[in-house]
Structure 1
Amino acid sequence: MANFASSKNLSQRMTIELGRAIVCGEYPRDKSLPTEAALCEKFGVSRTAVREAIKMLTAKGLITSKPKQGIRIQPEENWNILDPEMLSWSLEAKPSLIVLKEFTQMRMAVEPEACALAARHASPERLAAIESSLVRMEQAVQNNDLAAELEADIDFHVAILYASENRFYIRMRDFTRTALNVSIQHTTPAIDNSESIVDEHARIYNAIKSGNAERAKNSMFLLIDEALSIIEDKLSKI
């Protein structure tokens, strides 16, 4: 039995554990989940904590809870996959490459246009944030610091979302961070040339800085298309 009695936020801890278990397929999709009493026993928490966790997971579109019907798992198309926590759980499930493929396809619809908008509207402060991330990428590659390279790479893409000055794209920041943290670790080793990756990012930055929206858009499209090809190749070998 998992015991969360010492936690200051039992419902949040239970939300994470139960949500992850559902997404990763530990519970049959065509049957009700255990009762509140059974969940209290399994997780070592109160009914209040269980009910709060159920509310949180219901808000994510993962489950429903109705009298006489119990707690049931929702169809996957109802899941709020844009929720970073939900995405993180999905990436833990097998095969995560399918989720990464779908995420990368969505990136192709968002990030190239975000680059074009950044080229048109980015303030000096937003441009400086993109440049700072690029410089950190270069330094990390020189120092063979993979963790720092990954962090800077993610910051680069998030900085472009901010530079677009589009509130909807900016709201994609947490979702993008979560997915790129996994995606880049799949695609970068396959390229096996960190310097070329930096060069590709530099082309994007230079196009944005020069105000060339079309070049910025195309450069980002090519970068993401390469990542998608790598993921599709890996999927074909499963």
Structure 2
Amino acid sequence: MEQTNKERSLVSKVMDGLVTGIVEEKYGAVLPPQDVLSKEFDVSRTVMREALSMLLARHMLDVRPKIGTRIRPMHDWRMIDEDVVNWRFRAKPDPTFLRDVIEFRVLIEPRAAAQAATRGNASDIAAIRDAFEALRNSPPGEPGLQTADEALHTRIVIASGNQFFQQMAAIIRGALSALKPLVDLPPDAWEETVRLHSRVVEAIERHDAKEAEAGSIALIDFSMSRMSASVSDTSMGSAASVTPAAPAAPAAPAAQ
């Protein structure tokens, strides 16, 4: 058993190294042969084969006859996998990816906030409040800010009670981590960020689903505006522009 655990740890280490090389574009479009990679990482071919098979299963690689192991475009990667999410966010974000991240957040987070207000139990809501207090007490420059921000958004998603949303929490965390360096937060913007987070948290505590959803949209839109100001990328649009339309009201039943 000890040997098995050691091998698993080694496979994970090799996978991490391969991903680092991929996102840093060390290998180009095609990976070197397995024996070359085995020597590079100083592992057996069995370990290397297992590591590569794990990346293949995540749609990150593609084996082609007479070509070798090709690195697939990042948009093909299996983003539902938490490891893949974390690896994808290591790469330098491009405008299209940032747009997709914003659209994903707008689709998931506001609805999750509304459901947290409706379904969250006392323990869920207390955890959300604790994370918010940690965020409020960690202004820009404080080492705990990123952790507190990710914890707050993750706990809201968890409190939604929706198992599909809950499995998307890794993408939310990755999105916040990727966008944070692009968002400039001078003192006045920091105060507004705290106010908007407080709006969402207080609405959840009051079990006001409509206000929690509206507050979440406003928070994402504000973050988007700060990022747009920082990167000056007009292709990004705004959160409001990608907010899904409310479902139409059901038609009245026909007269009997």
TM-score, length basis structure 1: 0.84
State the distance in 2 between where 1:69 and 1:185 align: 38
Question: How big is each residue's C-alpha offset from its partner over 1:191-214, in whole Å with a ceiling of 9 and x where there is no partner?
Answer: 754332221111101111212211
The corresponding residue for 1:168 is 164
Q: Does 1:180 align with 2:176?
A: yes
State the distance in 2 between where 1:75 and 1:183 align: 21
Aligned length: 229
The corresponding residue for 1:220 is 216
SS at match of 2:92: coil
2:148 paired residue among 141, 148, 152? 152
1:81 paired residue among 67, 79, 100? 79
The corresponding residue for 1:63 is 61
Contact 1:114 1:169 in 2 (8 A): yes
Question: How big is each residue's C-alpha offset from its partner over 1:162-216, in whole Å with a ceiling of 9 and x where there is no partner?
Answer: 1100001111222322332232343252575433222111110111121221111
The corresponding residue for 1:94 is 92
Q: Does 1:39 align with 2:37?
A: yes
State the distance in 1 between where 2:8 and 2:174 align: 25
Q: Percent identity?
A: 30
RMSD: 2.6
Structure 1's unaligned 5+ residue stretches are 1-5
Contact 1:24 1:90 in 2 (8 A): no
Contact 1:12 1:53 in 2 (8 A): yes
Q: Does 1:236 align with 2:232?
A: yes
SS at match of 1:92: coil
The corresponding residue for 2:199 is 203
Contact 2:31 2:70 in 1 (8 A): yes
Structure 2's unaligned 5+ residue stretches are 1-5, 235-256
Contact 1:134 1:202 in 2 (8 A): yes
Alpha-carbon distance, 1:89 to partner: 3.2
The corresponding residue for 1:9 is 9
TM-score, length basis structure 2: 0.79
